[in-house]
């Protein structure tokens, strides 16, 4: 839901709660969001070792319904929507014909002829306009972003906490499945999804209950060490987990194959926007390749820093940061495909000097089973 400030960025229904909790606010994707409460490092570690609660109500939600819904989604997303059962979700992307992404998204199958897509906040309007423009199939489209708050409860203690406030059988919800459920007395959609690399849930519900659900969850998690976590920790957590962020690893000039997202491109599912370009690129090879790296000497790579190999500028860092759990300085970067090789060294230009970095296998972090 969006309540408009007098001017400037939108605010979620929890804006005042975040301010009262002492959060530092920042603009992200057109929204004024909490970047941190107690500190990014501490919040990051809480999610890795206990649990964190994120307000991600800025995310967009779009419903796709009607007899043409499946055919339409198959034609404009890269993953195979026909493989979804009711109450199953799928990581995917809305596609340009060039094989790049309009946005990455999670497609949820509510039932036959009934889907909802969760998209990036900054892209919601662009995505919706693009969907409408390509909807020759005649699916029923609605941007329902204002009808939902979204909270993400993430971390190894998430299930134990959520059990206290829901009647849903959490053990029966597998990763990337969801169920209509009542949490904290509020009806909504409870999905076992997230963007942190931890186990956890995302709950979509009507914004008027936001303060109640937020505070009830925090109270339920007090003994488990649950704490609010901001977008700062969300970013460092997703980077450790090797997840792409639109505008960084993904944009209109980057194909999904180049961004290591070939696994969501089901080229044999039938015709879809971008398929020809992806097929061609699979034959001819990619122009660049996303790699993970760790700094091998002091220095922190940041978004946009140039990458050098053998005295030549060959690419760019897309995301770089200290990794609070791994206690290393890590990053993602595009390099020429022939240079993409775990173990190979690249140089990161940091303020007029070059610092050595070593390519590593992604993800940087994988949660213990």
Partner 1 sequence: MYPEEFQYTKDHEWIRVDGDTGTIGITDHAQKELGDIVYVELPKSGDAVTAAETFGTVESVKAVSEIYSPVTGEVTAVNNKLQEHPELLNSDPHAGAWLIRVHLSEPQEVEKLMSSEQYEAYIREAESQ
Of 52 and 188, nearer to partner 1 (C-beta) is 52
Distance CA 195, CA 363 (A): 13
Distance CA 278, CA 341 (A): 22
Closest CA to 290 of 334, 257, 247, 321: 334
Q: Is 298 in the site for partner 1 (CB under 8 A)?
A: yes
Question: Is the CA virtual torsion 332, 334, 340, 345 positive or negative?
Answer: negative
Residue range at the interface with partner 1 (CB under 8 A); choices 1-9, 72-80, 201-209, 298-306: 298-306
Q: Is 40 in the site for partner 1 (CB under 8 A)?
A: yes
Q: How far is the CB of 233 from partner 1 (least distance, A)?
A: 9
Residue choice 200, 228, 232, 315 for contact with partner 1 (CB under 8 A): 232
Of 42 and 316, nearer to partner 1 (C-beta) is 42
Q: Is 369 in the site for partner 1 (CB under 8 A)?
A: no
Closest CA to 242 of 157, 155, 333, 346: 333
Q: Is 49 in the site for partner 1 (CB under 8 A)?
A: no
Q: Is 351 in the site for partner 1 (CB under 8 A)?
A: yes
Number of residues that bind partner 1 (CB under 8 A): 19
Residue range at the interface with partner 1 (CB under 8 A); choices 37-45, 137-145, 311-319, 341-349: 37-45
CB atoms within 10 A of CB 300: 15
Residue range at the interface with partner 1 (CB under 8 A); choices 50-58, 112-120, 171-179, 316-324: 316-324
For helices 40-49 and 231-240, angle between their N-to-C axes, nearest 10 degrees: 60
Residue choice 9, 30, 39, 156 for contact with partner 1 (CB under 8 A): 39
The answer to whether 329 and 321 are in contact (CB under 8 A) is yes
The answer to whether 255 and 283 are in contact (CB under 8 A) is no
Q: Is 24 in the site for partner 1 (CB under 8 A)?
A: yes
Closest CA to 105 of 89, 83, 88: 89
Site residues for partner 1 per CB under 8 A: 24, 35-36, 39-42, 44, 232, 235-236, 298-300, 302, 321-322, 324, 351
């Amino acid at each position: 839901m969006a309540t408009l400030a007098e001017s400037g960025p939108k605010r979620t229904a929890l804006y005042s709660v975040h301010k009262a909790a002492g959060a530092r606010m920042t603009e992200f994707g057109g929204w004024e969001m909490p970047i941190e409460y107690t500190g990014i490092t501490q919040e990051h570690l809480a999610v890795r070792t206990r649990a964190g609660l994120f307000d991600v109500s800025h995310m967009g939600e779009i419903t796709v319904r009607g007899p043409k819904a499946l055919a339409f989604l198959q034609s404009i997303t890269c993953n195979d929507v026909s493989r979804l059962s009711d109450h199953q979700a799928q990581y995917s992307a809305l596609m340009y014909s060039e094989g790049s992404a309009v946005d990455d998204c999670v497609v949820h199958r509510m039932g036959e002829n009934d889907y909802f897509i969760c998209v990036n906040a900054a892209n919601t309007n662009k995505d919706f306009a693009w969907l409408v423009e390509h909807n020759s199939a005649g699916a029923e489209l609605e941007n329902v972003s204002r009808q939902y708050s979204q909270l993400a409860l993430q971390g190894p203690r998430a299930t134990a906490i959520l059990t206290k406030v829901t009647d849903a059988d959490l053990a029966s919800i597998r990763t990337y499945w969801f169920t209509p459920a009542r949490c904290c007395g509020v009806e909504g959609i409870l999905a076992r999804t997230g963007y942190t690399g931890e186990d956890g849930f995302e709950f979509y519900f009507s914004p008027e209950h936001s303060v109640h659900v937020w505070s009830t969850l925090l109270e339920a998690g007090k003994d488990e060490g649950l704490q609010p976590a901001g977008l700062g920790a969300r970013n460092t957590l997703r980077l450790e987990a090797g997840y792409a962020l639109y505008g960084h690893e993904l944009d209109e000039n980057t194909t999904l194959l180049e961004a290591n997202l070939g696994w969501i491109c089901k080229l044999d599912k039938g015709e879809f926007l971008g398929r020809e370009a992806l097929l061609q690129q699979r034959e001819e090879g990619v122009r660049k390749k996303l790699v993970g790296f760790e700094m091998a000497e002091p220095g922190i790579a940041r978004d946009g820093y140039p990458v050098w190999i053998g005295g030549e500028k060959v690419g760019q860092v897309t995301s770089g940061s200290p990794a609070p759990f791994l206690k290393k300085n890590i990053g993602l970067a595009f390099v020429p495909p022939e240079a993409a090789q775990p173990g190979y060294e690249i140089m990161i230009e940091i303020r007029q000097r070059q610092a050595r970095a070593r390519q590593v296998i992604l993800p940087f972090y994988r949660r213990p089973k």
